[in-house]
């Protein structure tokens, strides 16, 4: 009788352990993680920035927030969302939507910058080629330049755009 009770107790214990494993995530199966490059980076002028959000499988979303340059939008803040974005290792590429005839393409890398700790200014830096394209009527013009956009500190947000009087 005692052996039967021990066997029954053992089976109940094993059943409980199996049920608990099925309900809780397997701590031995960890998702491979790399550096978290998501964040806000400087752009071409003070007050402008790029927001980069790294999602699953290297998909990148975000936007460029910049001042308008045209007569019709001079000094206005314009947001240009990513039409496409991809991260492969530390290689980043994105293209923005066209706003007021202007769009941007970036191709480069995300590198460790001079910031000492995660969350510090310039912990990561976007290094690469930025191409700005403009279209008016039927003519498209483009200009490219090498850029280095520094990550903003985690506890800092960009300064608001200057107000027109």
The answer to whether residues 99 and 78 touch, using CB atoms and an 8 Å cutoff, is yes
Reported as a single tens digit per residue, the pLDDT across 23-63 is 444 444 444 466 889 999 999 999 999 999 999 888 999 99
pLDDT at 160 over 70: no
SS3 9: helix
Closest CA to 112 of 58, 36, 54: 36
Which CATH number does the domain 39-150 belong to among 2.40.128.30, 3.40.630.30, 3.30.365.10, 3.50.50.60? Answer: 2.40.128.30
Query: Which whole number is the average pLDDT over 67-81?
Result: 88
Q: Please name the helix (run of DSSP H) or strand (run of DSSP E) that holds residue 80, with its range, or none.
A: strand 77-88
C-beta separation of 142 from 154 below 8 A: no
The string of pLDDT tens digits covering residues 125-146 is 999 999 999 987 789 999 999 9
Q: What is the mean pLDDT of residues 86-104?
A: 95
Give the integer Cα–Cα distance in Å for 9 and 163.
75
Q: What whole-number distance in Å separates Cα of residue 76 and Cα of residue 157?
A: 18
Work out the number of other CB atoms within 10 angstroms of the CB of residue 104.
21
């Amino acid at each position: 009788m005692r052996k039967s009770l021990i066997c029954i107790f053992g089976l109940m214990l094993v059943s409980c352990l199996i049920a608990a494993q099925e309900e809780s995530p397997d701590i031995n199966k960890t998702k491979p993680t790399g550096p978290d490059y998501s964040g806000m980076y400087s752009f071409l002028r003070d007050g402008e920035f790029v927001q980069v959000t790294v999602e699953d499988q290297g998909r990148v979303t975000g936007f460029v927030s910049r001042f308008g340059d045209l007569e019709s939008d001079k000094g206005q803040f314009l947001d240009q969302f990513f039409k496409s974005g991809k991260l492969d290792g530390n290689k980043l590429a994105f293209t923005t939507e066209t706003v007021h005839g202007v769009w941007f393409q970036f191709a480069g890398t995300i590198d460790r910058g001079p910031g000492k700790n995660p969350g510090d200014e310039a912990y990561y830096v976007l290094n690469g080629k930025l191409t700005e394209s403009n279209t008016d009527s039927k003519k498209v013009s483009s200009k490219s330049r090498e850029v280095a956009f520094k990550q903003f500190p985690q506890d800092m947000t960009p300064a608001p755009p200057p107000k027109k009087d």
